Amino acid sequence: MRKNLTLKAALLSVLLLGLVLAVWQLATLPAAGTTAAAGMTAEQIEYQKMLGKDPGQVKSSGFPSPAEMGDAAWRHLSDPFYDNGPNDKGIAIQLAYSLGRVALGFLLACAVAVPLGFVIGMSPLLHKAFDPFIQVLKPISPLAWMPLALYTIKDSSVSGIFVIFICSVWPMLLNTAFGVASVKREWLNVASTLEVKPLRRAFRVILPAAAPTILTGMRISMSIAWLVIVAAEMLVGGTGIGYFVWNEWNNLSLTNVIFAILVIGVVGMLLDQAFAGLQRKVTYVE
């Protein structure tokens, strides 16, 4: 039954993709009898020729067709590691910079949020003491920290890592504290009866019980971090998939912009699925 449902869902997804591509192709068909030179001044026509374009060709909607997107994807994916200078790097190199910043900021957030969440979850007093600070800082947009980070750190790459850190801390911290506080009292009472030492109790009783909730917080944090790094790299420039999108927009290459958007979506999906797999491994059935 489950296998049939998965197969039907896959077939429906393929049909939806085909429908989207068909509508996309129809929407980007060139208008009959209309040329790109129509409505252009002599100076604009000359400028188009200098760019290597033919003003007399049939004018399209300006939006790339699926075939053009396929050509762009093949061009980028066939040589993803080339490096021709600061503003011309392969898509794999740009992704590596972005993923490296996300990984470093995320790991720093884990090192702070998980232990602190453990302490807050185990102590009602600390929970009440920290709660006002968390509620004030949590709603602040991560990008609002970027000017302050650039002013104090004075390094755009490190500032991007700091922004990832600050946006990743809160979901992990709150989920860890909630998971620890929600551990069944019976299990803790059994550990106390057996005179289990606090450190051993934390690792053998509390951590396994709270692990699914902690992984949920990590999954949410990673999704937010991947969203934020793209916007942060657009602001600070240099390298990364966000800078690639902004640079291609400045080059008026809408095809490359759409390709990068699709890459961002696919990588985000893979990161989410990786954490979903980890979450399933630590989830237990009572």
User: For residue 35, what are the β-bridge partners?
Assistant: 58
Tell me: the pLDDT tens digits for 58-117?
444 567 888 888 888 898 888 888 888 777 788 999 999 999 999 999 999 999 999 999
- pLDDT for residue 29 is more than 90: no
What pLDDT is attached to residue 142?
85
Mean pLDDT of the chain: 84
Q: Is the dihedral of CA 248, 254, 259, 260 positive or negative?
A: positive
What pLDDT is attached to residue 42?
63
Angle at 108 between CA 103 and CA 112, to 5 degrees: 145
Residues whose CB is less than 8 angstroms from the CB of residue 90 and which lie 6 or more positions away in sequence, other chains included: 76, 79, 80, 81, 82, 83
Query: Is the model more confident about 192 or about 10?
Result: 10
The reported pTM is 0.81
What pLDDT is attached to residue 105?
94
Q: How far apart are CA 118 and CA 213, in angstroms?
A: 12
Residues whose CB is less than 8 angstroms from the CB of residue 17 and which lie 6 or more positions away in sequence, other chains included: none
